[in-house]
Amino acid sequence: MRFSGAEGRWREGLGSLRDVVRQELVTRQLAEHLPITPCRVLDVGSGQGTQALRMAARGHRVTALDASRELLDVLESGVQPGMRVRTVQAEAERLGELFEPGGFDAVLCHGVLMYFDDPGPLLAALAGMLAPGGMLSLLVRNGDALAMRPGLLGDWAGAQRGFDEAYYRNRIGVTARADRLADLTRRLAVTGLEVRQWYGVRVFTDVAPDGAPVPGDLEELLAVEERAGRTDPYRAVAALTHLVCHAGG
């Protein structure tokens, strides 16, 4: 996976405006779909553990898997008494070796698929982790709007490439891949997963500078981003697409 080695750049962005908007919106969107009763959650590519820790704080039993020891250390430092969190250092490709099929009620995979040239095997592995009726939360780079960021920043050559190409250079300096909603929906259907809802994440704030601080009117900003992320046509041009899928049964 191409993310390896970029942990330092990733950590530099934690707590910035773009990071806060992403994490807050995903949390709010997930809240509509997770059961109230405690369930078994697997967070694949958990990174620093923002979502894993929030799931554990709600009483869910969380397994967080990431290849980076550095980021898992950050996650573990945030575990509070009473939280049920297990961390596993391993590549996402090893899911089938590490866990029994059908062992989780919910699987999160946020910002991971973009680092795989062929998403098919990972999507199949994620689907295999779900119990019947389980939920997959998938956050990907929006391939339908890949020209938006460079276009808004005046990078016309980058915008031209975004219309036709699936690859781009991201903010942490890694070449990554974007997914188009229709194509990803078809790929998920092959694995037995149905997209029940999808959202946009970072419609208005994606072009904020690296390290931009959180403004004083954050709650107003989040309210606007949250509404745009569930409303057409705005959600279709967001930087990220958040899909909520369910397994058969």
| 77/69 Cα distance (integer angstroms) | 12
* pLDDT interval class at 2 (50, 70, 90): low
Kind of pairing between the strands at 240-247 and 193-201: antiparallel
**pTM for this entry:** 0.95
Task: Provide the CB-side half-sphere exposure for 150 (13 A, CA).
Answer: 15
The total of other beta-carbon atoms located within 10 Å of residue 9's CB is 14
| 22/129 Cα distance (integer angstroms) | 25
pLDDT tens for 176-194 read 999 999 999 999 999 999 9
CA angle 139, 144, 146 (to 5 degrees): 85
pLDDT of 248 reads 85
Instruction: Determine the CATH number of domain 7-142+178-247.
Output: 3.40.50.150
Q: Which residue is listed with tokens 């590519």? A: 45
pLDDT tens for 148-169 read 999 999 999 999 999 999 999 9
**Facing residues of 104 across strands?**
130
Q: Which residue is listed with tokens 């890949």? A: 146
